[in-house]
Amino acid sequence: MCQAYRLGMTGPSYTWFLPGWFTSGWWNVTFTECNTEELLLSIQGHLAFQVVSLADPESRTDVGKNPREFMTELEARTSVGEYGGKEYAPSGYDGIWILAHGLNASLDKMAEHGEGWEDFTYRRADMKELLFNALGSVSFTGISGNIQFDGNGLRLGQTKILQFIDVEYIHLSTFDLTEGTFQNQSENYRWKTINRLAPRDGPVVLRELRDVSDILSYIMMTLASFGVLFACFLLGINIKFRHRKIMKMSSPKVNYLICSGSVVLYTSSLLHGVETIDDREEGRLAVVCIMKSWFLSVGFTTSYGALIAKAWRIHKIITYAKYKKQNIKDWFLYLIIAILLLFDAIILVTWLVVDPLRYQLVNGTKEDHGEDVYVSPYTYKCSSENFLWMAILFSYNGLLMLYGALIAWNTRKISMTLLNDAKSIAMTIYTSTVLSIFGVPVSVLVERDLNLNYGISEFCIIFATTILLVFCFVPKVRLVLVTSVSDDNAIMATCGTNLPPSNESSSMQTTLTLQRQLEECKKTIEEQRKQLNKRQREGRF
Question: Are 390 and 408 spatial neighbours (Cβ–Cβ below 8 Å)?
Answer: no
Partners of 362 in the β-ladder: 379
Tell me which of 304-318, 347-361, 448-462, 509-523 is least confident: 509-523
d(CA 168, CA 127): 47
Please give the distance of CA 75 from its chain centroid, rounded to a whole number.
70
Is the backbone of residue 25 left (phi > 0), alpha (psi -120 to 50) or beta? Answer: left
Return the number of other C-beta atoms located less than 10 Å from residue 399's C-beta: 10
List the one residue out of 216, 354, 231, 227 whose CA is nearest residue 275.
216
Return the number of other C-beta atoms located less than 10 Å from residue 19's C-beta: 10
Burial 119-157 (b: 16+ CB within 10 A, else e): eeeeeeeebeebbeebbeebeebbbbbbbebeeeeebeb
- Give the model's pLDDT for residue 454: 84
At position 251, the amino acid (one-letter code) is: S
The pLDDT of 57-76, averaged and rounded, is: 91
Using one digit for the tens of pLDDT, what is the confidence trace for 153-208? 888 888 999 999 888 899 999 998 878 889 888 887 888 777 777 777 778 888 88
The pLDDT of 239-268, averaged and rounded, is: 84
Q: In which band, very low, low, confident or very high, does the pLDDT at 327 lie, cut at 50, 70 and 90?
A: low
Return the number of other C-beta atoms located less than 10 Å from residue 55's C-beta: 23
The pLDDT of 516-522, averaged and rounded, is: 60
Return the percent helix, strand and coil in the chain, to nearest 5.
60, 10, 30
- Give the model's pLDDT for residue 87: 81
* Degrees, nearest 5: CA angle 157-159-164: 170
Partners of 17 in the β-ladder: 47
The pLDDT of 104-123, averaged and rounded, is: 82
Using one digit for the tens of pLDDT, what is the confidence trace for 302-325? 988 888 888 787 777 766 655 455
Regarding pTM above 0.75, the answer is no
Question: Are 300 and 460 spatial neighbours (Cβ–Cβ below 8 Å)?
Answer: no
Tell me which of 241-255, 461-475, 502-516, 523-537 is least confident: 502-516
